[in-house]
Structure 1
Amino acid sequence: MIPHTRSDQAVVARHGWPQAVTTVLVALVAMGVVAALGLWAAGAVDLPDQAFPRVVAASVVTAVGGTVKLSGSAGGLADSRAGLTVIPLSVTLTGALVLGAGFLRPLRHRAVAGSRELAAWAARIAVLWLLALLALAYAARQTFKLSLGDDSLSDLGDLFGVSPEVGFTTDVPQTVLFGLLWLAGVLVLALLVSRRAPLPGRLLPLQESVRPAAHAMVVLLLAYVALGTLVALVVAVTRGHAPETLAVILLGLPNLVWLALTIGLGATWNGRVEGPFGLPMPHLLDEVLRSKDTATLNLHTLAEHDGRVWWLVVVDAVLLLSVAFLMAARSPAHVRAWQHAVRLAVALALTVLMICLMGRISAHYGLSVLGIGDLGGGLSGELFLEPELWPAVGLGALWGLVTGFLGALSARPVRRQGEITPADV
C-alpha cells in the first residue's frame, strides 16, 4: 500500500466536495439571478398563481439543454395546441462561464494533471449537477388560465364550457441527459480554452494544436456579446424602452448577436412571425419575418430594408482577423501559416454549427372550438427561425481559411518561440 503524502492530501483538498458544492451552487445562483432579472424586466412577475419562480426554473432548465413541454386544454368542445423550443443563451453563457471558472480554479498553477485526478474532480461536479437538474426539472411546472378577451367572448366560452389553459412541464429524462451533456461540453471546453489549466500527458499535443483555436473562438463570441451589450445600452439610453432592452440583454442577447455573426458571414436563416409572438431582435428583423409566409434572412434581403446591414461583413472581418492574429501569436513559431488557416477553419465551422443548432427558435399556440380556429383572434400564433445549416458551416470554414492565413502572416513579426522562414509559409 502506497502512503499518502502531504502533496497528495493537498490535491484532494483542492478537489473536495466542498469545492464542488461551491462551484455548482454559484453557477446555479448566477443563472437564476440572470434569468429572474430578465423575466422581471419582461414583465413575468405579473404571472398568476405565484408562477414566477417556476418560470425562472424553466428558463434555467432550457438554458442547459433541458426540455420544457407546453400543454393546453380548453374544455370538452375545444382543442388547443402549443409548443416551444428556445434557449435563453444569456443564461446559458452565464452558467458556462461560472462553471468553467469554478472547474479550473483548483487546477491553476499546475503544469500537469493526471487523467484520474481530472475525472474525479469532474465526477464530483457532475453528481451535484445531476441533483440540481432533478430539482429544477420537478420545480419547473405550472398551468395558467387564458382570458378570451371581451365580455361577450368570455360569456360564449362559459356557454360552451371553454376555459382555455396553457401550462408547461419538464421532460425529466431528456433534461437530465442533455443537462449532463451540456456540463461535459462546458468542462471539456474550459480545459481546451485555458492556457494555464493542466492537461494529462496524453493530451499535451492539444496544447499546441487545439487550445489557440478554441481560445480564439471564445474570444470571438464574447467580443460579439460585449459589442451587442454596448449597442443595446446606447439604444436604451437614446430611444427608451429600457425594460425591454434589459430583458433582451439578460435573456437572449447572444441569440441575437451570434445570429448577426452568421449573417455577416453570408449565412441564410428562414423564419416567420405570426400572431402575438415577438422575437428579441431589432424592429428590422421582426418586420422582415412578418412580411411573408416564410421569410429569408440574409445580407441581401435585410439590405433591401436597411443598407447598414452590410456593416456586419466589416465587423466580422475585423473581429475574425483579430482573433486569427491572437491565435497565431499564441501558437508555437514552427506552426505554418496554412496550418493556422486549417485550424481556424475547423474551429469557426464548429462554432457556426453550434450557433445554428442552439439559435433555432420555434413556438406555436392555437385554440379552436367545434373545429373553428383562433377563437377571439390573437389567441393563436406561430414563430420559427431556422438556419440553412450546411451552407452556413461551409461559409464559416471558408472565412476561417482566409482570415486564419492572413492572421498568421500578420503575427510573424511578434513571434517569441522561434523564427519562420519563407519556406514555412
Structure 2
Amino acid sequence: MDASGSGDKVPWGDVVLASVAAVSWAVVAMAGAAALGLHLLGADSAGSLGPMTAAAVVLAVGGSVTPTGDVSVFGLEGAQARTAIDITPLGVGLVGALFLAYFFLRSLRRAGPYISGTELAARAGGVATLFVATVGGLAWAGHDVITIDGAKLGLDLDKVPGLGGDGGGIEVPGLGDIGGLLPDRLGDLADAHASVGFSVNTADSLAGALFWVLGVLAISLLASRRAPLPRGALWQALRQAVRPAVSAVVAVLLVAVLAGYAAAAYAAIGDDHPKRIAGAALLGAPNGVWLGVPLGLFVPWDGEARGELAKLLPDPLDELLRVSANEPVTVGRLAELDGRVWLLAVATAVMMLSAGVLAAARTPAGGLTAAGFTGRCAVRLGVVTALALPLLVWLTDLSADASLSVLGFDAFGAGIELHGRVGMALLLGAAWGAAAGGVGALLVYGMGGGERAAAVRGAEGAAELPGPYRPAPPYRPSNDDTNPYLRPPPEIHGAPTVAGPMPPMPPPPPPPPRRASPPTPQDGPPPPGAPRNRP
C-alpha cells in the first residue's frame, strides 16, 4: 500500500497483529485493575478472585451479571431471596478504553497521512471481532458459587439466652416469651450452608461488548487529531469541524477523573481503611466524577436510597435520598444540606470553560471575523456537549437492590436507585457547550490564537508535514519592525542583490624605487672559474 493511503490493498498480516496487540493489552489492563480493586476491597476473602475478576471485566464493557443462590434457609423463598445489581465499574472500563484506543490509533499511523476506507474498516472490524470473542471467553469463566457456612459466622450458641445451660427464655414486653422461636432460628442458622453465586449472561454481554468496543473506537478516532482518515470532503469536514470539539471534551473529562483519583488518595491518607478507599477508587472513581459533572451542570436526578447500601453514597447525597425520595436531586437541594456543594457547580463551570478555550485553540479561523469565529466554536462545542452529557448520564446510571432475610423477617432490605434525566441533559449540554464555546472563542481570538490554529489545521488538513523544502507555517504575519532578521544593517543597500553605491577605487601605491646596480669593474682579473680571454 502506498504512503498516501490511496490504495485499497489491505495488509492483513499487520491488521491481525495490531488487533491482537490492542485487545490483549486492553483485556490485561482491565483484568489487572479489576483484580487489584477487588483484592483491596477484600472481596476475594468470600470467593475465588478469578471468576470475580472476569465478571467485573464483563460488567465494565456493558455486560450483564445475574446473581443466583439458595438462601431459603435464612427465611426467604423464591423471588424474595434476590440480589440485583446494575452498575458499570467505569474505572475498569476506562483503563481498557485507554489501552485499546492507544494501540488502535498507533496502528493507523503507519498508513501515512491518509488511509483507505477499506483498511480502516478492516482494522476496526478486526479489533471488534477479537474483543467480542474475548469477552465471550470471560463470560464462560465469570461464574462462581460462594458458600456461607453458618458454623463460621462466629455464633456462640452457649451464650445465647434460651440456648445456654440456664434454660432461660427471652421476655419481650407485650409479646411474652419468644425463646422457643429464636433458638430454633439460630440453630438453623448455625447449621446452614447457603450457596450464593453469580453468572454472566452471555448473549447480553456479547451485545454490550460489541457496542462498547465500537463506541471506544469511534470516540478515539474523533478525539485524535493526528490519526489518519480516508480522503474525501466528508472526512475532511470531520477532521476540521468535529475533532477539535471532541478532543477538548475528552481531555477535560480525563483531567476530571485524575482529580477524582487525587481526591481519593488524599482521603485514603487519613482513613482507618485506606485499602478500601483505594479499591473503590480503582473500580468506581469515574462513576463518581462523571455523575458529578451532569449534577454540577444542573441536570436533575431521580433516586432513592434505603438500608445499608445508602451508606455507600457520599454525604449529603445519602441524607437527601433518605429524607425525600419523591423530589429530584439537584445542586440547590444538596446545597441546603451542605453549602460546599456549590463548589461542584463552580468546578464544572470552569471545566466547561477550559473545554471551550481548548476547542477554540484547535479550530481554524479561516479568515472569519470575531463574531463568525465565535459562532462557529459555539455551535460545534454545543453539539458535542449535547451528545456527551446524556452519555455520561447513561453511563453513571445506578441501580442496586439487595434483600436477605434472617430469623423469619427482613434483617435488611437495601437498595439504591439513581437515574438522571436524559432529556434535560441534552438541552443543558447544548446550552453549556454553546456558552463555553463562545466565551472560549472570544478569549482565543483576542489573543490571536485563531490565526495560528488556522495555519496549523490547514497544514494538517493538507497533510503537508514541515520539512527542509516545506517550512512550517508562521504563527503570525512577519513584521519588519520587530523581526531582527528582516531589518538590514544600515550600511547595506535595500536592493536584494546589489550593495550600496561603491566608493571610487583608491589609486594604487607607487612602486618602490629601484636600487642602482654597482659599477662593473673594467680592469682586473676575472672571477674564479671564468674563462680567460686569449690574445
Normalising by structure 1, we get a TM-score of 0.88
Alpha-carbon spacing, 1:156–1:196, altered in 2? closer, same or farther (3 Å) = same
SS at match of 1:65: coil
1:211 matched to which residue of 2?
243
2:204 matched to which residue of 1?
174
Quick one: distance in 2 between partners of 1:397 and 1:5? 42
Deviations 1:172-228, CA, capped at 9 Å, x for gaps: 011111101110111111111111101112422100111111101101210110111
SS at match of 1:333: coil
1:146 and 1:164 in contact (8 A); partners too? yes
Quick one: distance in 2 between partners of 1:100 and 1:136? 21
Q: CA deviation at 1:336?
A: 2.7
Within 5 Å, give how 1:158-197 maps onto structure 2: 159=188, 164-197=194-227
Quick one: distance in 1 between partners of 2:379 and 2:396? 25
Deviations 1:308-347, CA, capped at 9 Å, x for gaps: 1111121112111111111111111136311211221121
Q: CA deviation at 1:147?
A: 6.4
SS at match of 1:283: coil
Q: CA deviation at 1:27?
A: 0.6
Within 5 Å, give how 1:76-87 maps onto structure 2: 78-79=76-77, 80-87=81-88
1:316 matched to which residue of 2?
348
1:394 matched to which residue of 2?
427
1:229 matched to which residue of 2?
261
SS at match of 1:204: helix
Tell me, yes or no, if structure 1 residue 156 matches structure 2 residue 158.
Answer: no
Quick one: distance in 1 between partners of 2:420 and 2:183? 40
Within 5 Å, give how 1:32-181 maps onto structure 2: 32-48=31-47, 51-75=48-72, 78-79=76-77, 80-108=81-109, 110-146=112-148, 150=155, 156=185, 159=188, 164-181=194-211
Quick one: distance in 1 between partners of 2:298 and 2:37? 31
1:208 and 1:332 in contact (8 A); partners too? yes
Quick one: distance in 1 between partners of 2:397 and 2:311? 12
Q: CA deviation at 1:390?
A: 1.4
Quick one: which of 272, 275, 279 aligns to 1:247?
279
Q: CA deviation at 1:162?
A: 7.0
Q: Please, what is the CA RMSD of the aligned residues?
A: 2.8
- Letter of the structure 2 residue corresponding to residue 336 of structure 1: F
Quick one: distance in 2 between partners of 1:200 and 1:258? 33
Alpha-carbon spacing, 1:295–1:35, altered in 2? closer, same or farther (3 Å) = farther
Normalising by structure 2, we get a TM-score of 0.71
Alpha-carbon spacing, 1:57–1:356, altered in 2? closer, same or farther (3 Å) = same
Quick one: distance in 2 between partners of 1:310 and 1:417? 35
Q: Which has the higher contact order (CA 8 A, sep 6+)?
A: 1
Deviations 1:70-93, CA, capped at 9 Å, x for gaps: 223334874112211000001111
The total of aligned residue pairs comes to: 410
Quick one: distance in 2 between partners of 1:274 and 1:336? 51
Q: CA deviation at 1:146?
A: 4.2
Within 5 Å, give how 1:251-266 maps onto structure 2: 251-266=283-298
1:359 matched to which residue of 2?
396
Deviations 1:263-310, CA, capped at 9 Å, x for gaps: 110112222222232565533333333334556432112112211111
1:422 matched to which residue of 2?
none
- Letter of the structure 2 residue corresponding to residue 105 of structure 1: R
1:74 and 1:162 in contact (8 A); partners too? no
Q: CA deviation at 1:417?
A: 5.0
- Letter of the structure 2 residue corresponding to residue 193 of structure 1: A
Tell me, yes or no, if structure 1 residue 414 matches structure 2 residue 459.
Answer: no
Q: CA deviation at 1:136?
A: 0.5
Alpha-carbon spacing, 1:293–1:336, altered in 2? closer, same or farther (3 Å) = closer
1:78 and 1:162 in contact (8 A); partners too? no
Deviations 1:143-185, CA, capped at 9 Å, x for gaps: 2234676557795276599754432111101111110111011
Quick one: distance in 2 between partners of 1:368 and 1:237? 37
Quick one: distance in 2 between partners of 1:244 and 1:345? 39
Alpha-carbon spacing, 1:38–1:279, altered in 2? closer, same or farther (3 Å) = farther
SS at match of 1:327: helix
SS at match of 2:344: helix
Alpha-carbon spacing, 1:268–1:5, altered in 2? closer, same or farther (3 Å) = closer
- Letter of the structure 2 residue corresponding to residue 346 of structure 1: V
Quick one: distance in 1 between partners of 2:315 and 2:453? 50
- Identity across aligned pairs (percent)? 36
2:309 matched to which residue of 1?
277
Quick one: distance in 1 between partners of 2:185 and 2:85? 28
- Letter of the structure 1 residue corresponding to residue 21 of structure 2: T
Quick one: which of 216, 222, 228 aligns to 1:198?
228
- Letter of the structure 1 residue corresponding to residue 145 of structure 2: T
Alpha-carbon spacing, 1:114–1:293, altered in 2? closer, same or farther (3 Å) = same
SS at match of 1:206: helix
SS at match of 2:85: strand
Quick one: distance in 2 between partners of 1:356 and 1:98? 24
Alpha-carbon spacing, 1:157–1:58, altered in 2? closer, same or farther (3 Å) = farther
SS at match of 2:337: coil
Q: Which runs of 5+ in 2 are unaligned?
A: 161-181, 367-371, 456-535
Deviations 1:84-141, CA, capped at 9 Å, x for gaps: 1000001111111100011111222621111110111122222221221111001111
SS at match of 1:35: helix
Q: CA deviation at 1:241?
A: 3.5
SS at match of 2:298: coil
Return the structure number with greater helix share.
1
